[in-house]
A and B are shown apart, each in its own frame.
Chain A
Amino acid sequence: MQKDSYDSSRRDFLKKLPVAITGSAVALSSCSRQEIDEYLQENFRTLSSAEKKEIISNLEKKYSEKYGKKFIVSAKPAIDNTLFGYALDLSRCIGCRRCVYACVKENNQSRDPQIQWIQVLQMEKDKGIDFMHSDVHYDPELVPEEGYFYVPVSCQQCNNPPCIKVCPTKATWQEEDGIVVVDYDWCIGCRYCQAACPYGARHFNFGQPTVPAEEINPITHYLGNRPRIKGVVEKCTFCIQRVREGKYPSCVEICPVGARKFGNLLDPNSEVRYILKNKRVLVLKAELNTQPKFFYYFGV
């Protein structure tokens, strides 16, 4: 009786095997060559220059067809002797959220479901920097409100980032200029990095990200603002597509009160170094030894 059941299951297996093989063959034949190549491609860091060139050319073609705009996908590496740092003047920030929406637009973040890399927290002046009692959903007629101050939080670009240590596929790493990046083709969406980040700076695409074609920014970087897919994690990259071309991040440019400063920490003449030299700064959750390169200070 026992033997019979084994026999029949083996027979069943042999019967189903050709069906499975045929099914797989049909599924594979319905995939384009490009889709199969994308699925099998190596981690960005191990690709040769020729492979990178081919992949980027394919991506530019794919995105241009999808959005009806000429896309540029850069793979520009870090500039030598550069370590990017950020400083934010808490006494100037008025909590207007202009930076949030400039970032969304520049970095092709999904409009629905909504993803925003910058969160502006409203905090009571009496309580100081207190995440437990902060409010991200404040919506008064005008800001700043009396008795409150504002702390914009995004990726802190830690020097000792806990998020990259937990990634099981090594899909996220720190570049030589200090920017922590994600290879969206290698991210498996396990969200370990999201759990490891103490700043809530990583965002997961639960749904298919949507960006209207007329609003898409076609100037992209492979490790930054190129269109993402459902099931991957994304985060602030200090606008890698801009800063490696010598421009400021979009949040720095848009800030109406000049609260945001950005520059090369290795350049003694940079604005950010001036602040670090002349102001006493604050890093969020310093006790975790993540060593952020995002500094907060009180200018007045």
Chain B
Amino acid sequence: MYRENKMNSRGAFLKKVSLAVVSVVGIGFAGFSFQKRKVNLGFNVKTLSDDEAKEMARNLPSSESNRLKPEPPPKMQHPSED
């Protein structure tokens, strides 16, 4: 009886280990494919990563010659105004 229990618990342990391995691999695969998703329009689009975009934004030249007075900012709509 004792031996049988021990066997059972080893079997259960192996089951759990294999389930854990499958889950980790599955989550990793899903995460990887999710991260790799790109704009899907039937042709290749070269995208910028967030870091590259940040770097490009930081290096934007200041356009002092193109300065204009901006239009007024928006007034927020709120249910209480109704």
Residue ranges of A at the interface with B (Cβ–Cβ < 8 Å) = 83, 85, 90-91, 94-98, 100-101, 113-116, 119, 123, 125-129, 136-144, 146, 149, 159, 203, 206-207, 256-257, 265, 276, 279-283, 286-287, 289, 291-293, 295, 297-298, 300
Contact call A280/B39, Cβ cutoff below 8 A = no
- Contact mask for chain B residues 1-18; partner A; CB cutoff 8 A; 1 contact, 0 none: 000000000000000000
A129 to chain B, nearest CB (A): 6
Q: List 18 A-B contacts (CB under 8 A).
A: A90-B57, A96-B68, A96-B70, A97-B72, A113-B77, A115-B77, A123-B57, A128-B50, A139-B73, A142-B67, A146-B62, A159-B40, A206-B81, A207-B82, A257-B66, A281-B39, A282-B48, A287-B34
B47–A281 touching, CB < 8 Å: yes
Interface of A (DSSP majority class)? loop
Q: Taking CB as reference atom, which chain A residue is nearest B73?
A: A137
The residue in chain A whose Cβ has the minimal distance to the Cβ of B38 is A286
- Give chain B interface residues in 45-82, CB to chain A under 8 Å: 45-48, 50, 52-58, 60-63, 66-75, 77-79, 81-82
Using known A-B contacts A119-B74, A256-B68, determine if residue A129 contacts B50 with beta carbons closer than 8 Å. yes
Q: Please indicate which of the listed interface residues B40, B47, B53, B70 has the most CB atoms of chain A within 10 Å of its own CB.
A: B70
Cα A123 to Cα B62 in complex, Å, equals: 14
Q: Pick the contact of A293 from B41, B53, B69, B79 — CB < 8 Å?
A: B41
Residues on the B chain within 8 Å of A300, using CB: 60-61
Minimum distance in angstroms from B77 CB to a CB of chain A: 4
CA distance A283 to B38 in the complex (A): 9
Inter-subunit contact B70/A139 (CB<8 Å):
yes
| Contact B53–A139 (Cβ < 8 Å) | no
Which partner residue on chain B sits nearest A298 by CB separation?
Answer: B56
Cβ-closest 9 pairs across A and B:
A128-B54, A97-B71, A142-B67, A137-B73, A207-B82, A298-B56, A113-B77, A280-B46, A282-B48
